[in-house]
Amino acid sequence: MPDDISDGVRIELDGLTKRYPGQEVPAVDNVTMAIPAGELVVFVGPSGCGKTTTMKMINRLIEPTSGSIRIGGEDVLGMPPDQLRRRIGYVIQQIGLFPHLTVAQNVALVPKLLGWPKAKVTARVDELLNLVGLDPAQFAGRHPRRLSGGQQQRVGVARALAADPPVMLMDEPFGATDPITRERLQNEFLRLQRELRKTIIFVTHDFEEALRLGDRIAVFRERSRIAQYDTPARILADPADDYVASFIGGDSTLKRLALISVGDLAADPAAEVDGLPRVSATATLREALDVMVSHSTQQVACDGGVLTYAAICAAAEPAREREEVPGAR
Amino acid sequence: MTLSEYVSSRWDELTQAAGQHALVVALSILMATLIGVGVGVLTYRRPRLAGLATAATAGFLTIPSFALLGLLIPFLGLGWGPTLVALVMYSLLPIVRNTIVGLRAVDPAVVEAGRGMGMSAARVMARVQLPLAWPVILAGIRVSTQMIIGIAAIAAYVAGPGLGNQIFDGLARLGSVNALNAALAGTLGVVVLALAFDLFYLVVRLLTTPRGLRA
């Protein structure tokens, strides 16, 4: 991940600890990790494991007891918290739109805090609403209560992006939406992130969501101990211990196939495609396998030719995923 | 002389008394709002202090108004001073109480979002929490106003301003000429004032409730 061309900046946590008065064990115990610039890192773990506390220490909604946080090399614990937070996008599950303000006023909030000129703010609001797929002419003047849950969370994302922060913190942002809306929001968000390359910390307890969205996943156990911090493919192929394996469940190979798209594999261009079921290049290997099973065949047609069952099995070989990824540990 | 004849013959005197009555109520409510909302803002997150503030302001209300006004004379003399202080004390409870309730009812996620975006605590209070709690606070102010419009009449006892003088005069010389008319005119004036204030609050509520909060 080339740091110099990306919009995001690197985040480094060092010995980060949160101890609440009157509690024997720290809520977050000595977390050290680096989040590479422009990557989306998912914190995943059960409720109460400290993943949200760890995230909220980064924008200092929770003050750390000890340890250090650097964003783009700058020590954030020495900064005024309000100014720090204006440079960090923040999206929460309950969205928290201001009900007495319009959609446009909600989105304009941080740019106004930063003292942007009015014309620039207006232009930015339109740009962002378009970016998250809401027509400004239709939505800018509306109040939040007149939006659906999915639309509200789009406004939430637009508001967090408003001042173009290099870093975004997202606390189960799609957790309160229905499964169909959630999948659509996830896909839109992935597309957005491919363009924006922000450094994003994304908290969820949904491992499937972590696999879909994360460039990297940090699996948390209690007290924010990190059980494994790696790419989705490597966590699936080589879970660090039984705890991580329990998150993956019994279908790690299928989950791994879901991370690879048909277009990533070289199809056999010479083979006969007539009469074979077709899959698109953007379909995942898991979907291709599904088509094979449902059609009782070992071959499917795709853009480049024919994809075989044997090729899918070869792609699922854990060894293929073991090449070193820079920055992973 | 009939009541209507009495009212038209004393029109200037009555409107002046009504004006002063309205003024003393308005001033008291203004001060009570500043104090009450301030106390609510400072205490709503601390249950013990909030309980103390509610109990203390409720305690004020249990003091009989004659006693309170009389007890204030040694400190504040007669006239506007004791009247204002007593009316402010009586109007605090609904305002303090509703400010606390209204602020507590604001969705914590909205406050967290505001803080998370880099708004200071004071700015979140002024721009988010108070506007969202405003309809509830306004309801408290309205109740206080209705309460003290009646109590303000008793301020005539300490030579305070307002329609109470008509009522007291009339009642003091009941049986003599125009005594009943004076008492009735003063009482009717208080009722009319109460209705006028209520109408005023209706308009204020319509004008100040943010559009996004209206049902």
pLDDT the model gives residue B215: 61
Domain CATH number, residue A203 = 3.40.50.300
Evaluate if residue A325 carries a pLDDT over 80: no
Same domain, A85 and A175: yes
Q: Which of A197, A217, A251 is the last residue of a domain?
A: A251
pLDDT digits (tens, 9 = 90+) for B117-136: 999 999 999 999 999 999 99
Yes or no, beta carbons of B109 and A95 under 8 Å apart? yes
Contacts of A109 (CB under 8 A, 6+ apart): A98, A101, A159, A162, B117, B119
Q: How remote is the C-alpha of A287 from its chain's centroid?
A: 22
A90 to chain B, minimum CA–CA distance in Å? Answer: 6
Whether A207 contacts A248, CB under 8 Å: yes
Q: Across the interface, which of B111, B118, B213 has its CB nearest the CB of A82?
A: B118
Average pLDDT of chain B, as a whole number: 92
> Which residue of B lies nearest to A143 if distances are taken between CA atoms?
B212
Same domain, A181 and A311: no
- Number of domains, chain A: 2
Q: Residue A131 domain-assigned?
A: yes
Phi, psi (deg, nearest 5) at residue A286:
-60, -40
Same domain, A158 and A19: yes
For A302, the domain range is 255-322
Same domain, A164 and A101: yes
pLDDT the model gives residue B177: 85
> Which residue of B lies nearest to A83 if distances are taken between CA atoms?
B118
- Mean pLDDT on A61-88: 93
Evaluate if residue A317 carries a pLDDT over 90: no
Interatomic CA distance for residues B183 and B163, integer angstroms: 9
For B9-213, CATH gives: 1.10.3720.10
B42 to chain A, minimum CA–CA distance in Å? Answer: 21
User: What ipTM goes with this model?
Assistant: 0.82
Q: Which of A251, A275, A303 is the last residue of a domain?
A: A251
Evaluate if residue A4 carries a pLDDT over 50: no
Same domain, A233 and A292: no
Domain CATH number, residue A302 = 3.90.1280
Same domain, A95 and A195: yes
Q: Residue A6 domain-assigned?
A: no
pLDDT digits (tens, 9 = 90+) for A49-71: 889 999 999 999 999 999 999 99
Q: Residue A327 domain-assigned?
A: no
Yes or no, beta carbons of A99 and B212 under 8 Å apart? yes
- Angle of the B130-153 helix axis to the B11-43 helix axis, nearest 10: 140
Q: Residue A97 domain-assigned?
A: yes
Same domain, A261 and A245: no
pLDDT digits (tens, 9 = 90+) for A246-257: 888 878 788 888
Is the CB of residue A90 less than 8 Å away from at least one CB of chain B? yes
Average pLDDT of chain A, as a whole number: 87
| Three-class DSSP category at A34 | strand
Which one, of B30, B57, B58, lies nearest residue B141 by Cα? B30
Confidence band, pLDDT 50/70/90 cuts, at residue B209: confident
Yes or no, beta carbons of A98 and B113 under 8 Å apart? yes
Residue A83 tokens read as 């100014």
pLDDT the model gives residue A318: 60
CB-defined contacts A:B, below 8 A: 73
Contacts of B39 (CB under 8 A, 6+ apart): B53, B57, B92, B96, B99
Q: Which of A251, A285, A314 is the last residue of a domain?
A: A251
Yes or no, beta carbons of B114 and A110 under 8 Å apart? no
Chain A residues whose CB is inside 8 A of the B212 CB are 99-102, 143-145
Regarding predicted confidence, which is higher, A177 or B199? B199
**What is the rounded radius of gyration, in angstroms, for the C-alpha atoms of chain A?**
22
Same domain, A177 and A273: no
> Which residue of B lies nearest to A88 if distances are taken between CA atoms?
B117
Q: Residue A4 domain-assigned?
A: no
pLDDT digits (tens, 9 = 90+) for A250-279: 787 888 888 888 888 877 777 777 788 888
Confidence band, pLDDT 50/70/90 cuts, at residue A105: very high
**What is the rounded radius of gyration, in angstroms, for the C-alpha atoms of chain B?**
20
Same domain, A261 and A244: no
Q: Residue A102 domain-assigned?
A: yes
Neighbouring-strand partners of residue A40: A200
Whether A162 contacts A111, CB under 8 Å: yes
Interatomic CA distance for residues A91 and A154, integer angstroms: 10
Yes or no, beta carbons of A82 and B116 under 8 Å apart? no
Evaluate if residue A2 carries a pLDDT over 60: no
pLDDT the model gives residue A312: 84
Evaluate if residue A5 carries a pLDDT over 70: no
DSSP letter at A302?
E
